[in-house]
Structure formats: structure tokens, C-alpha cells
Structure 1
Amino acid sequence: MSRLVAGQAEDAARSLASPDLYRAVWRWHFYAGLFVLPFLITLSITGALYLFRDEIDALVHADLKTVEIRQDIALASPSTMVAAAITAHPGRAVKYTDPATPGSSAEITVNADSGERLAVYVDPYDGAVLGALADRGTVMWTVRYLHSLRYFGPVARGIIEIAGGWVILLVGTGIFLWWPRGQKGGVVSVRGRPRNRLFWRDVHAVTGSVVGCFIVFLAVTGMPWSQVWGGKVNEWANGANFGYPPRVRTDVPMSGSKLSDEGLTAWSMEQAQVPMSPGAAAATQPIGLDRAVAILDDLGLNRGYAVNIPGKPEGVYTGSVYPDDLSRQRVVHLDQYTGESLVDMSYADYGPGGRWLEWGINVHMGQQYGLLNQLLLLGVCAGNVLLAVSAGVMWWKRRPSGSMGVPPMPQDRRVFRGLLAILVVGGIIFPLVGASLLVMLALDRAMTRRRPALA
């Protein structure tokens, strides 16, 4: 009991050290948490699952994605596998994905005559069709779309972008509230017992101090996928020069279509245009998929690369791969008539900003450092859920009956000036976040004016 009283006295002393500033920060920490915590829980759960996407997909879709390894058997040619896929599901093959390992199936993307876009899985040893799913129809693609709220339209995706900005505010104000001010507990240790609010306060504070920097990292590295900020920055950063540095492309005409229109690509390559085949003017015969795959193999693309199959006379074969090892990322466009490499772009050719962003995205997805990367972020996701739960319990124990329990307004409103200056800077960088901050300021002001009137 004495420890509990001592802990409460320390909390009181800490808040009295600068009561108006403490109240202002606490108030905005409360608002940020009220908005962010529901998203933090869903993002953490779906993100934790997606960290192990390859392992989970291989388990759930084992009948389609894994095959028996057979020694001393010549693999079926890519064209044979494509023919088998089209026979089973009539339509036009638009992409061939090379088996990533000896125990993996090949994947043929087919625009079926029925109007569906299918991923057809083929055994590369005998060319037998194993089955098909809707394109991006695996369980992990479902989790990815839930993580980004893509299923719920552009408004929901905009809300996720706003939540990312508010997460940074939440962590910043949380660190201020946690910062030691002479107290002996609640910094790296947890006091009290679960029935006490002090216990949950300390769990929340100590957990936040451990995972806070990781939360900010995930919020910042998640912003490139955001609808407004991410889209505009990508367009500004990569929209010039067809998306390729001059040294990596020959002087060939560009089609106007973007690489991202043809399938999944790296963030830094989304604005890159697809070239046209100069060999079309000579009216020669196309080299065919088998020859294109052989050329890409000779160029050393990482196993598991995808090949976009041209559907027009001026089209190109595009080989692309985005493995866990960033240095192996690569995009190669081949003239479909001569096999000449028109563009050969790798991670080393990205600009400094692009390399940093791609590194952040790779770490965010748990890819860059293997199992260690996955386990570290799994721990962060678990910490995020604990933060949200402890915040809810702490609020429930603190709030007055019949009230939301919003922290009190500072008596000296001038303490908001420094905080507002930080919010303005953040709002300029992230416009949707800035707009939401203005809305929250207006609502807070309206509520504080209404309370005296009601009283």
C-alpha cells in the first residue's frame, strides 16, 4: 500500500512541476490516443501476420505453391507451362513468374475469357496445372489489403494516412509524459498490481518507452504507401526522366504506360514508363517467352522473377524481381524482337532518397534482415497491442462517472503555442494530418466553450 501511495505522490509531483504544460501535452496525448489506438490494434495484428506472409501462404496454399523436388528431370519450358495454364483456363497469359526455389511452383497470370484475372499454378517439373486462384487471391494478399484498408475505399485509406501522422504526435507527447522527473518508479519498472491504475500507467509508460521509436519508424516508412502524401511525393520524386537515370537506359521511345500499371513494383519504380520495342519497325519475328527467360537468366536476375508478356506489337518483355535482399532488386526491359536490353535498372541506380525509402519499406515489411527483422517487428506489434490495452484500462479506471475523462485544460493557454508550432510544421509536411489537427482544435475549442455554458 505504501508503494502505491508513494507512486501516486510521485505522479502528482511530476505533473505539478509544470502543471499547465503537462496538462496541455497530456490533453493532446489523450486526443491522439483516442483516434489512433483502434487503428494501432488492427495495423499491428494484420502487420504481424504479414511479416510471415511467405511462410503462411506456403502453409495455407501448399497444394498450389509447393511441389515435390525431382532430381535429374528436365524442367518444362516456360512456354509449355503457359500453354498448360491457358488450356486449363482459356484466355491470354500476361505474366510468367519463375519458381523461386526448387520446391516452388511457377505462376502464370491469365486474363481469362470469363473476364477474371487468375493466378494459375503449374508444376515446373511436368507442366501439370495444380490449380488457380483469383490474381492476388492468396490469404496474405487479403491481410495486406486489410492492413491498408484498401477494401474500404479511398476515404478509409485517407484515414490511415491521418492515423500515421497522429501516431508520431502520440509518441512525442508520450515520451514527454514518461520522461523521468525525479520519480523512482514507472520509468523502467512497473509498480502496483493489476487492480491498480498505477500498474497500468506504468505498463503503458514503460512499454511505450521501449517501442516508441519503432512505432515512429513504422509510421514514417508506411507513409510512402499513403494515398495523398505518398502518391504526390512519388510523382514528384520519380516522375521525371521516365523514372530512369539516363545511364541505365538506351535512347528508346517510351510507351506512356507506367510499370505500376502492369503489376506490383518497387515504390521507386512506380512512375517509371515502359519502353517500346524498336524492333517492331523491322517486322521481324518475336523471340518468344522461352528465349526471353533464357536472356534474363543469363543477365543474372534473382530466382522468382516475373516476366510481363507483351500483348502488342510494340510491347516488351519486362523481367522484374523485388527479393528480400535489396541489392538484388532489378527491372529489365527486353526488345521482344531482338532480345536487346533496353533498360536495366537495379537498386544501385536509385537516387539517395529512393534507396533510403526502399530500405525503410523493406525493413517495415520484415524482409531486409531475415528472421531477426521479422521477430523484432513481431515484438513491436505485440507491444503496440499492449499499449492500446493498457491505455484503455488506465482510462477506464481514471475517468469520472458519466464523463469522457478528457485531461483538464491548462489555465494558461499560452503553453499551447509551442505545441501548436510543432503541429503546424507537421501539418505542412503531411497535409491530411494538418487538416485533421485543425478539425480537432476547433472541436476542442467548441467543447471548452460549451462546458461553462452548460454549467
Structure 2
Amino acid sequence: MTDTTDGASAPKAAAQRVAVSDLYRAVWRWHFFAGLLILPFIITLAVSGGIYLFREELDKIVHADFIQVNPVDEQRLAPSEIIDRALKAQPGTVVKYTTPSAEDLSTEVTVQPETGGRMAVYVNQYTGDILEVRADRSTFAWTVRYLHSFRYFGSGPRKIIEIVGGWAILMVATGIYLWWPRGQRGGVISVRGTPGRRVFWRDVHAVTGLVTGAFIVFLAVTGMPWSSVWGAQVNEWANGSNFGYPSGVRVEVPMSKDRLTDTAKTSWSLEQAQIPRTDGPPVAGAQSIGLDSAVQEFQSMGLANGFSVALPQSPTGVFSGSVYPDDLSRQRVVHLDQYSGQLLVDMSYEDYGPLGRWLEFGINTHMGQTFGLLNQIVLLIVCVGIILLAVSAAIMWWKRRPSGRFGVPPLPSDRKVFVGLLVLLGIGGIIFPLTGLTLLVMIALDLGWQWARRSRRGRQPS
């Protein structure tokens, strides 16, 4: 009786082992394909992101000659005087005035010349000296930020953000399955062997992925708001259609067609927020309250140091004060009527809807701002971990790769296991449409490659 039972269970156990092996091969194959697709981009994101975490510290070093100034007690030029000095150095129209966030930092004036792009003029607010005139948003920090978001390469390449983010999440999910202990003693939380052996790099890759996996998912999800497809749709969903403001904010004033993001740095939630407008001068010949009064009003309202003021560019324009410090609770946007100084819109982080607040918290943490230096250090370690994941994957593949061949992980013996795996991957593709599109392309390429291999084998002489 015992012999009969053992004889019947042996084939069943063998079949189960084959099924597990087939699923492992399928997951491994697509983990490999995903890595092949995104690793060059994820290395770029990790390097630029790690640098950008310390943007303020680095800018003070790289641009110390025009960003830092020596404070002088009881001596500060009025905003209008600072603008006059800036316009002498760079003729044009002033579109934005940015107050320093600290006493030892200079004041930035953004000018639109008659021709060409905007220029930034840095002025010592104590002496009136012109410290620098350069293209707007051309500092080291802005350069790294644009590299990180692929903005330098146009709107098309920016879609890579969504593709990489979606695949990074799927790679973590498949990576956890590949890491999952299956009776082995090493390579789970320890590293075996020496750098000369493949198992060393396999374990480095697995253990690093285990430690950084949750952070990678967090960074991928919180980086998605900047993507051009998913981010734009979620922004509209989070903020409704109330002129681009969060749906919980009542906006009962006339709106212009200008967007806040076109005039000043803004939060993700308010990128599409429209700027209010006035009805023009209340009486013929009425004058604007002027920048000096507007700045004084914003200061009296408690806007944090470092706020920007977008100046009205037409008779129906407004003064728009905005500030986005590391402390989320102090984020704020205020619009004033340029003639009366009347408050038109005043909103802060607390006015965002639940989804908007969650996303803003995620974005703020993604940028290393929420928890101070600890936030920066932790994310820097994660960025280093991501680079190590990529390097170890490349070395591991190179050591495993058969001579003269690409070394794609083998197909499972039962192709049906692909169906369930691709369904799971497809769910991620639905959530992130561009990731789903690349999934379809990769499936087509994989099927085409398999067909080509079978065709070559069929033509070989027996």
C-alpha cells in the first residue's frame, strides 16, 4: 500500500516541481526584458536624482559668487529699486520678483527681453549691485532637475518617465518572486562568494533589491505625477475642473487663460491653476498699488521667506504671490487685485483635496524635503542602491551569458504559464498606459524572435 501511494505521489511531485520551474523561468525572462528596457534610464534618474537632493547646498557652492551676499543691518533696497537696477542691466519687462529665502542670499528678478527667452538677474538687495545676468532657470540645480525629468529633450522623451516608473514597479514585484527563499541558505539576506563569481553578484543584486524595493516603488509612484500622460490625467482627477484648483477650493472670481506654472515655480497640484484677472482700472487713470505695496501685503499675510511675486502684465492682471518651502504646511498661493490690493484667492496645502495632499506629501518627500537631512541621506543611499542594482545585474548577466549569445533566460516548457504572468503585468499596464504599450511591443518582439529562431532551426540540414 505504501509503495502504491509513493509511486502515485512521485509523478505529482515532479509535475509540481516542473510547474514551479516554468513559472520561475517565465518571471525571470520578463524581469530580464524589463531590466534591458529601463536600466540605462533608471541609472540616469538615480544619478541626477541623487545630485538634486542636495540642490540648494550645491548651488551655494557652484554659484556662490551671485547667490550668496553679506547681510548689512538696517539696509535693504525697496523691491522697486531692485527692479530698476535689474532693468538697467537687462532691459525688458519684469515678470517675476523672488525674495531671498535667507538673509545671506540674493534677490532674483526675472525679465522678459523684447526678443529671446527670459533672463534672471541676481541683485544684492543691500548694495544694489548686479551680481549676475543669465538665462532663466539655468543654474546647476535647474540643469540637474531638467535632466532628471528629461525636460531638456522635449515632451516626447518625457513620456519615458511614465514607462520607467511603471516598469520599475513591475520589476520590484517580479524581483521579489525571484528572490523568495526556496530552501537556499545563502543569498537571502547575505552575500555568498567573491566578486569573481557570478553567485556573488546574484546575491548582491537580490539583497540590494530586497532593501531598496519599497523605496523604489515609492519613488516610482511619487515620480509619476510629472509624467505627461498618467500625471496629467491624475492631476485633472485630483483637482477637478475648478479652473485647475483643488475641488475643495471655491473660486468665484474671473479667471484669465494664464496658468500659474507659466509664471512661477508651483506645486504639482497647481500646475494647471489659472490666474485670476481683474476687470481693469476701476476708474480712468487708476494706478496699480505697485510692487512695493504688494510685497508688503504678502509679508503681512505671512508668506514664508523666499516667495515669488508674478507681476501683472496687462490692465486686467493681478499680483500673484507663491511660495513652496520644504515645510508643506507653509505652501501658499495668494492673488491680489492690482488696483485695490483686494484678496482674490488665498490657498494653502490644507486646501488641497485628500489625493492632492497625499501626492504633494509624496512629491515633497521624493525631492528630499519633508524630513530634512535624514530624508536626503536615506534617498541618496537608495539612489546608490539603484545604481548597484543596475551594475550587479549587468555583471551577473555578463558572467552567465553563453559565449557568442545574448543570454536571454530560457523559455518555460509549458508556455501556458506566460498567460497568467502577462495578465498580472497587463494590470500594471492598464494603470500606467505607456508602460502597457511598451509591454505589448515587447510581447510582439519576443514572439517574433522566437518565431525567427524556430524558422532558422527548421532550415538547418538534418
TM-score category by the smaller chain?
over 0.9
Conserved? CA contact 1:238–1:272, under 8 Å: no
**Contact 2:238–2:246 (Cα < 8 Å) also in 1:** no
Where do residues 297-308 of structure 1 align in structure 2 (5 Å cutoff)? 297-308=299-310
Q: Which amino acid aligns with 1:238?
A: N
d(CA) in 1 for partners of 2:293 and 2:251?
21
For 2:246 and 2:354, the matched residues in 1 are separated by 12
The answer to whether the aligner puts 1:131 opposite 2:132 as a matched pair is yes
Q: Does 1:44 align with 2:52?
A: no
Say yes or no: does 1:451 pair with 2:456.
no
Corresponding position: 1:320 with 2:322: yes
SS in structure 2 at match of 1:96:
strand
1:339 alignment partner in structure 2: 341
Map of 1:143-292 to 2, 5 A cutoff?
A: 143-244=144-245, 248=249, 251-278=252-279, 280-283=281-284, 284-292=286-294
1:91 corresponds to which residue? 92
Contact 1:316 1:334 in 2 (8 A): yes
CA contact (8 A) 1:278 1:335 kept: no
Partner of 2:6: none
- Residue by residue over 1:413-440, the C-alpha shift from the partner in whole angstroms, topping out at 9 and shown as x without a partner, is 1212221121221121111111110111
Alpha-carbon displacement from aligned partner over 1:316-346 (angstroms, at most 9, x marks no partner): 0000001111111000000000111100010
1:382 aligns with 2:384: yes
Aligned to 1:5: none
- After TM superposition, the score normalised by the length of structure 1 is 0.94
Deviates more, 1:444-453 or 1:384-393: 444-453
The amino acid across from 1:56 in the alignment is L
Residue 239 of structure 1 and its aligned partner are, at CA, apart by: 4.7
Aligned to 1:442: 444
Shift of 1:454: 1.2
Equivalent pair of 1:255/1:276 in contact (CA under 8 Å): yes
- 1:31-57 deviations in Å (ceiling 9; x for gaps): 011111111111111111100000111
How has the CA–CA distance of structure 1 residues 287 and 15 changed in structure 2, closer, same or farther, with 3 Å as cutoff? farther
CA contact (8 A) 1:98 1:304 kept: yes
Aligned residue runs from structure 1 range 61-100, under 5 A: 61-71=63-73, 73-100=74-101
1:89/1:112 contact within 8 Å kept: yes
Q: Which residue identity is paired with 1:395?
A: W
Q: Helix, strand or coil: the match of 2:177?
A: helix
Residues 145-189 of structure 1: CA distance to partner in whole angstroms, max 9, x if unpaired? 111222222332122321111111111111100011121110110
Q: Deviations over 1:172-216 (max 9, x none)?
A: 111100011121110110000111000010000000100011111
User: 2:240 touches 2:246 (CA, 8 Å); kept in 1?
Assistant: no
> How far apart, in 2, do the equivalents of 1:115 and 1:439 lie?
41
Alignment partners' CA distance in 1, 2:140 and 2:17: 48
Contact 1:275 1:342 in 2 (8 A): yes
Deviation of 1:233 after TM superposition, in Å, equals 2.2
Deviation, structure 1 residue 250: 5.8
Distance 1:205 1:330 in 2: 43
Q: How far off is 1:258 after superposition? A: 1.6
Structure 1 distance, partners of 2:375, 2:455, is 54
* Counterpart in the other structure of 1:363: 365
Q: Is the 8 A contact 2:161 2:224 kept in 1?
A: no
Could you tell me how far apart the structure 2 residues matched to 1:450 and 1:246 are?
54
Residue aligning to 1:410: 412
CA distance in 1, matches of 2:248, 2:379: 37
Measured in 1, the distance between the counterparts of 2:70 and 2:223 equals 37
Q: Number of residue pairs matched?
A: 441
Secondary structure, counterpart of 2:137 in structure 1: coil
2: distance between equivalents of 1:402 and 1:311? 65
CA contact (8 A) 1:239 1:272 kept: no
| Amino-acid identity (%) | 62
SS at match of 2:305: coil
Task: Give the conservation status (yes or no) of the 8 Å contact 2:260–2:270.
Answer: yes
- Say whether residues 1:108 and 2:92 are aligned partners: no
Mapped to 2, the partners of 1:246 and 1:335 lie a distance apart of: 23
The amino acid of 2:270's aligned partner reads M
Q: In the TM superposition, what is the alpha-carbon distance from 1:264 to its structure 2 partner?
A: 2.0
Select between 318-327 and 17-26 the one with higher mean Cα deviation.
Answer: 17-26
Unaligned segments of structure 1, at least 5 residues: 1-13
Identify unmatched segments of 5+ residues in structure 2: 1-15, 458-462
Output the amino acid matched with 1:407: P
Compute the displacement of 1:125 (Å).
Answer: 1.0
One-letter code aligned to 2:57: E
Shift of 1:232: 2.5
Aligned equivalents of 1:345, 1:407: Cα separation in 2: 54
Max Rg structure: 2
The answer (yes or no) to whether the contact 2:236–2:244 under 8 Å persists in 1 is no
1:393 corresponds to: 395
Higher alpha-carbon deviation: 297-306 or 151-160: 151-160
Question: What does the per-residue CA deviation read over 1:245-286, in whole Å, with 9 as the maximum and x for residues that have no partner?
Answer: 587556321112221222321110112111112463334221
SS at match of 1:163: helix
2:269, 2:356 within 8 Å by CA — same for their partners in 1? yes
Once superposed, which parts of structure 1, at least 4 consecutive aligned residues long, lie more than 4 Å away? 14-17, 245-250
Q: 1:195 to 1:54 in 2, by over 3 A?
A: same
Distance 1:144 1:255 in 2: 29
Q: Helix, strand or coil for the counterpart of 2:243?
A: helix
SS of residue in 2 equivalent to 1:38? helix
Native 8 Å contact 1:279 1:338 kept in 2: no
Deviation of the 1:447 alpha carbon: 1.3
Worse-superposed segment, 19-28 or 441-450:
441-450
